Amino acid sequence: MDNAQRGYFGQFGGMYIPEVLHTNIEELIRHYKAVRADPSFWAEYKALMSSYSCRPTPLTYAENLSKHLGGAQIYIKREDLNHTGAHKANNVMGQGLLTKRMGKKRVIAETGAGQHGVATATMAAKFGFECEIYMGETDVKRQRPNVFWMERLGAKVNVVRDGTKCLKDAINAAFRDWSYSMDTTHYVLGTACGPYPFPEMVAWFQSIIGTEAREQILKAAGKLPNYIYACVGGGSNSLGIFSGFFDDKGVELIGVEAGGKGLDTGKHAARLVSKEGQIGVAQGMKTVFVQENEGQMHETHSISAGLDYIGVSPILADLHEKKKVRFEAATDDEVVEAVRLVIRKEGIIPALESAHAFAQAIKEAPKMKKDEILLVNQSGRGDKDIFIIADALKDEEWEKFIIEKAEAYRAGR
């Protein structure tokens, strides 16, 4: 079979890679299929996640928020309680175990905001791997705290100065590294995107969310949920929770993209629900990208760095086309309001990414019946977003604190 015909989900996916990467991808497919067929691998993965990353993560009944909105009973799957603060741990630890099985000693990864870079560097420290992270120059400047932690964790952060100096350029640089380092190196791709087998493999590691959530909701509520909301960046946390319920009739799955400043402004990262979202081939896959008319990639915008990406998982593009998942978008303003409400009602700080799922749930819950069950996947915790949230809420004391800190630094030099 021609490589471009393998690894498809409906009309999306494939393996659009340069010739030099074929051996790497074939080797990866072989190892991925082997561990997937080996129950001892999944058992080792589950044991690792329970001793290192708080799994199974709890399911929390949001009693106050449910009462406040006056509709469905709201439950939250707490991926924020993972080590390093998000579901990203599920993917990196899984790929770490795979790297060990492949006998490799070096890992590389791309990162946008730096969350995946920190998670990969954490995994590399734990497993004793050499680690290099590719990150666009623009992102390095915006995300100093994450660069600081990656370096403390022992990773080398390579600044990428090509293109728009953002996530997609970091991905291209990581593939370039991999094309001459495959003997020693595994590329830990951060979401359910890229060439086959990455979309399927990452979704598989994340399926631990859905498997747990299904058991937990049956125990807590005595029945399956009517609605499940998850935010959609590359697509890994949404696929993770949705996959536990694909075969269940009567469970509606809702993916929420970044509506940014509004779908009619062009300043968003909504691939599946905006007019800028068009089918194309890039980054190793055929999927829906935010594009200009001539196939030029469009600049994306979102208040949440983790949803700010031009492409979306080919698996989700297929589920969208087959109408198995409903897609919506939440704007930056709605997201900030959702963060504020969830903090005050539940004492839980959602990441700005996760708050997209909350924002859509908050819009729809009041219209639902009181005996209906609504489940939100809280992909991560929001402490990391203090700079953005404090700005958005116009907290004057925070602004004073930042200025005074900067002045103290200057005086000390």
Q: What are phi and psi of 280, to 5 degrees?
A: -160, 175
| Out of 57, 73, 111, 115, the residue judged to bind ligand PLP by CB under 6 A | 115
Smallest distance, ligand PLP to C-beta of residue 219, A: 25
**Site map (CB under 6 A) of ligand PLP, residues 177-206, x = contact:** --------------x---------------
The size of the interface with ligand PLP (CB under 6 A), counted in residues, is 18
Q: What are phi and psi of 351, to 5 degrees?
A: -60, 155
Q: Does 380 bind ligand PLP (CB under 6 A)?
A: yes
**Site map (CB under 6 A) of ligand PLP, residues 278-297, x = contact:** --------------------
190 in helix, strand or coil? coil
DSSP codes of every residue in 123-182: HHHHHT-EEEEEEEHHHHHHTHHHHHHHHHTT-EEEEE-STTSSHHHHHHHHHHHHHHHT
Judged by beta carbon, residue 240 or residue 280, the one nearer ligand PLP is 240
Q: Does 88 bind ligand PLP (CB under 6 A)?
A: yes
| Out of 13, 194, 234, 314, the residue judged to bind ligand PLP by CB under 6 A | 234
Round to whole Å and give the CA distance between 180 and 396.
50
The alpha carbon dihedral of 121, 123, 127, 133 has a sign of negative
Smallest distance, ligand PLP to C-beta of residue 20, A: 27
Q: Does 81 bind ligand PLP (CB under 6 A)?
A: no
Q: Does 207 bind ligand PLP (CB under 6 A)?
A: no
CA atoms within 13 A on the CB side of 113: 20
Round to whole Å and give the CA distance between 125 and 281.
35
| Out of 232, 258, 269, 349, the residue judged to bind ligand PLP by CB under 6 A | 232
Round to whole Å and give the CA distance between 67 and 370.
9
Smallest distance, ligand PLP to C-beta of residue 371, A: 30
Round to whole Å and give the CA distance between 224 and 218.
6
Q: Does 277 bind ligand PLP (CB under 6 A)?
A: no
Report the candidate in 409, 259, 388, 251 with the shortest Cα–Cα distance to residue 332. Answer: 259
Beta strand 227-231 with 59-61 is unpaired
Q: Considering only the stretches 120-128, 256-264, 281-289, 347-355, report the one whose residues sit in contact with ligand PLP under the rule CB under 6 A.
A: 347-355
Smallest distance, ligand PLP to C-beta of residue 85, A: 7
Round to whole Å and give the CA distance between 284 and 195.
5
List residues bridging with 257 in a β-sheet.
329
Judged by beta carbon, residue 271 or residue 298, the one nearer ligand PLP is 271
Q: Considering only the stretches 63-71, 100-108, 232-240, 267-275, report the one whose residues sit in contact with ligand PLP under the rule CB under 6 A.
A: 232-240
| Out of 379, 385, 389, 392, the residue judged to bind ligand PLP by CB under 6 A | 379
Q: What are phi and psi of 160, to 5 degrees?
A: -100, 125
Q: Considering only the stretches 70-78, 174-182, 231-239, 287-295, report the one whose residues sit in contact with ligand PLP under the rule CB under 6 A.
A: 231-239
| Out of 233, 244, 259, 311, the residue judged to bind ligand PLP by CB under 6 A | 233
Residues annotated as catalytic are 88, 110, 379
**Using CB atoms, what's the residue nearest to ligand PLP?**
380
- Under rule CB under 6 A, which residues in 349-368 are in contact with ligand PLP? 351, 353-354
Q: Which residues contact 38 (CB under 8 A, 6 or more apart)?
A: none
- Please, are residues 303 and 352 in contact by the beta-carbon 8 Å criterion? yes
| Out of 49, 231, 241, 362, the residue judged to bind ligand PLP by CB under 6 A | 231
Q: How far apart are the first and last CA of the chain?
A: 64
Round to whole Å and give the CA distance between 59 and 215.
10
Q: Does 55 bind ligand PLP (CB under 6 A)?
A: no
Smallest distance, ligand PLP to C-beta of residue 105, A: 26
Smallest distance, ligand PLP to C-beta of residue 306, A: 3
| Out of 71, 260, 306, 314, the residue judged to bind ligand PLP by CB under 6 A | 306
CA atoms within 13 A on the CB side of 237: 31
Smallest distance, ligand PLP to C-beta of residue 227, A: 18
The footprint of ligand PLP (CB under 6 A) covers 86, 88, 115, 191, 231-237, 306-307, 351, 353-354, 379-380
